[in-house]
């Protein structure tokens, strides 16, 4: 009940399919807590912190994803932001890639237990998925810094994908460090959304790579 109470308390009332996310988000966090006893999925396990840093953070920029036919969540880890976004955007197909095999198996099992028909999990690196599949949007949380992400996602940009990356408080330093690589590839780095997590958990930004 602890996760459910926290999600009910912190999720915005205007969120689409909010009740679905409360239910599925609770089950997802419970599965993470259970699995974390024998496999390190995340250091964040306290109910309030997990609800804010995992679920709320994943869905606050949901409007950027609304209406997309398909989304690739690159390096999904324990399933973020892909699973929460898929819960509130049931018409969008989400492909969650994770190259760490045991994490990929966990996310695949979780998606099956949650009954999420719009989620597929691939146990491979995102750049390998992008070699054979096209996506309207490519996203990722806690990925490589921008100077390393640019070469990974440049091919997807050339094929028309929007690349939207979740970034934390060190964003300006990342943008500076990636400036030369961005110029070389003709890519613009644009901040399209900023938001504050509650209870002083910090500022987040969504960065779009534009080719």
CB 137 within 8 A of CB 209: no
Consecutive H or E run containing 138: strand 137-140
Residue 207: pLDDT band by 50, 70, 90 thresholds? very high
pLDDT for 85 beyond 70: yes
**What confidence score (pLDDT) does residue 142 get?**
83
DSSP-assigned states of every residue in 185-203: HT-EEEEEEEEEETTTTEE
Sign for the CA dihedral angle at 12, 174, 158, 94 comes to: negative
Helices and strands (H and E) in the chain: how many: 9, 7
**3.30.365.10, 3.20.20.140, 3.40.50.150, 3.40.228.10: which CATH number matches 61-210?**
3.40.50.150
CA-to-CA separations, 173 to 49, 92, 168, in angstroms, rounded: 26, 33, 11
Q: What is the pLDDT of residues 13-59, one digit of tens each?
A: 999 999 999 999 999 999 999 999 998 888 887 999 999 999 999 99
pLDDT for 143 beyond 80: yes
**What confidence score (pLDDT) does residue 1 get?**
66
Q: Is the peptide bond before 81 cis (omega within 30 degrees of 0)?
A: yes
**Residue extents of the structural domains in the chain:** 61-210
Average pLDDT, the chain: 95
């Amino acid at each position: 009940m602890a996760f459910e109470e926290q999600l009910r308390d912190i999720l915005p009332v205007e969120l689409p399919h909010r009740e679905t996310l409360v239910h599925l988000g609770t089950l997802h966090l419970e599965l993470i807590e259970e699995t974390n006893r024998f496999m390190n999925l995340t250091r964040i396990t306290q109910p309030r912190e997990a609800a804010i840093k995992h679920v709320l953070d994943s869905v606050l920029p949901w409007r950027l994803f609304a209406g997309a036919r398909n989304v690739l969540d690159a390096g999904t880890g324990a399933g973020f932001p892909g699973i929460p976004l898929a819960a509130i955007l049931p018409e969008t197909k989400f492909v969650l890639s994770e190259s760490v095999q045991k994490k990929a198996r966990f996310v695949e099992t979780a998606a099956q237990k949650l009954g999420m028909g719009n989620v597929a999990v691939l146990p491979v690196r995102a750049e390998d998925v992008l070699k054979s599949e096209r996506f309207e949007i490519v996203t990722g949380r806690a990925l490589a810094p921008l100077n390393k992400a640019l070469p990974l996602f440049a091919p997807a940009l050339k094929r028309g994908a929007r690349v939207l990356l979740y970034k934390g408080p060190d964003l300006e330093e990342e943008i500076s460090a990636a400036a030369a690589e961005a110029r070389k590839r003709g890519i613009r780095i644009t901040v399209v959304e900023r938001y504050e997590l509650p209870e002083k958990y910090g500022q987040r930004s969504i960065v779009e790579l534009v080719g």
